[in-house]
Homo-oligomer: A and B are copies of this chain.
Amino acid sequence: MNIIIQPGEADYKSLVQRPQMPKADMDEVIGEVFRLIAEKGDQGLKELTKKFDKTDISSIKLDRSDLQKAYESLDPILRDAILGAKTNIEKFHTAQLPQQVKVTTMQGVECVQKAVPIERVGIYIPGGTAPLFSTILMLAIPAKIAGCSQVVLCSPPTYNGKIHPAILAAAYICDIDEVMQVGGSQAIAAMALGTETIGKVSKICGPGNQYVTAAKEKAQQFGVAIDMPAGPSEVLVYAGEDCVPKFVAIDLLSQAEHGADSQVVCVAPDVAIAKAILEEVDLLVAELPRKDMAVAALANSFIIVEKDLDKAFAYINAYAPEHLIIASDHAGVLAERVVNAGSVFLGNWCPESVGDYASGTNHTLPTYGWAKSYNGVNVDTFMRKITFQTVTREGLVNLAGLVVPMAKAEQLQAHANAVKIRLEHIK
């Protein structure tokens, strides 16, 4: 990690730049997968699972009893941890449920905004040796709170030819309606298009490799919404004068261990603190099982030294980090300065990992600077807000003087007539 001392505003442009994402042109291969699923449905899914995941699956959908078995054989300490995390995530996300909005804009004109759940949503969870069961909680809990009537989960059978039992147990705990043992772009295509077994969904959420990401992009062409664009995970730590360098160091490392493409940035008020943090990083990295990944990620990372708070937070907001840790006992005050971030961790006792798992906030967040445009997953992600307007005779009379001249100026005569014909009827 390099130390960069008091960069000027002109330097921000390069300092907020993320490493280029490899953007392979996958249009052809993804197009082929969608065509095959559209044409062959379930059979196509089985063929592609054999081809890509080297696994023969006789059935696509798992039974509820398969999930229950995985749940019952789960390590009780892990089970209780998941249940505890679920309670916290439920508390915070339930409080996010939007209220109905009702306004009388004119006498006789009432406007209502009502949130309704998306009926059928899909969740994707990648395979691999480390099972990302925590992401099931982060997606399924808000979907259930929103009131989605069907939540379907797809995950590849890549753990000894099956879905990892921790994923199945988490699906059981979150009361997922349907679990399908298919993964990759073919699973996304199936949820977007529908097959005999997997009904078409209206929205797809969840992480994945570049094939899954490309398939989610493609799914949008079929009117299926997605959670947000995907990019490598990242953290920015603001290390205040009263930070504990060792804590900052392990927080930087807990991001770095995600993978070589992870991004880790620190902003500190003086060089001494920056150096103290780097010393701790060197000590702590050695102990990590995923040391090689962390070292690779740190190679692209840096510490900015900036004493001026206005400048420090101007940079932080320009970077728009997915995770922002404010390591200071004054974090609450500093938080007022945050305009662009996904999720913010306040104080010296608040590592990112609490939000990754259990504090109650969501961990599916915008990366790559997209926090300027997007927010993380929340209850809204699984709802739509429909508007209703009720207009009485009196209301229509009141609106006529507004609607008719505007419709005429836009040269939409029937729009004006729809009001006029009704007014004539009243007379």
Contact = CB atoms under 8 A, between A and B. Distances in A.
Contact of A403 (B95, B354, B388): B354
Given A378-B113, A415-B257, A386 B343 contact: yes
A422 B92 contact: no
A166 to B, nearest CB: 6
Interface of A: 75, 77-78, 80-82, 84-85, 87-88, 91-92, 95-96, 98-99, 101-103, 105-106, 109, 111, 113, 116, 118-119, 129-134, 166, 202-203, 220, 223-225, 229, 244, 246-247, 250-251, 253-254, 256-258, 284, 287-290, 294, 331-332, 335, 338-362, 368-376, 378, 380, 384-393, 395-396, 399, 401-407, 409-419, 421-422, 425
18 contacts: A81-B403, A81-B405, A85-B402, A92-B111, A95-B101, A103-B360, A119-B340, A224-B373, A247-B422, A254-B417, A335-B388, A350-B395, A353-B403, A356-B403, A357-B407, A358-B399, A373-B384, A380-B380
Contact of A343 (B105, B118, B387, B399): B387
Nearest to A378: B385
A387 B362 contact: yes
Contact of A352 (B113, B257, B418): B418
A271 to B, nearest CB: 24
Given A134-B406, A253-B414, A343-B387, 8 more contacts: A84-B402, A111-B361, A246-B425, A342-B387, A349-B392, A353-B407, A354-B396, A355-B387
Contact of A203 (B223, B373, B407): B373
A392 to B, nearest CB: 6
Nearest to A367: B223
B359 A391 contact: yes
A131 B409 contact: yes
Nearest to A423: B349
Contacts of A290: 411-414
| Chain A contact residues: helix, strand, loop or mixed | mixed
B103 A91 contact: yes
A70 to B, nearest CB: 13
B391 A246 contact: no
Of all A-B residue pairs in the complex, the 4 with the closest CB atoms, nearest first, are A351-B418, A105-B360, A254-B414, A225-B373
Contacts of A361: 111, 387, 389
A407 B353 CA distance: 8
Contacts of A109: 88, 354, 359-360
Contacts of A378: 113, 385, 387
B229 A220 contact: yes
A103 B92 contact: yes
Contacts of A223: 229, 368-370, 372-373
Given A380-B380, A418-B353, A419-B353, A413 B103 contact: no
A365 to B, nearest CB: 9
Contact of A331 (B98, B99, B134, B390): B390
Contacts of A391: 345-347, 349-350, 354, 359
B402 A81 contact: yes
Given A88-B106, A360-B109, A341 B386 contact: yes
Contact of A388 (B246, B344, B348, B374): B344
A247 to B, nearest CB: 6
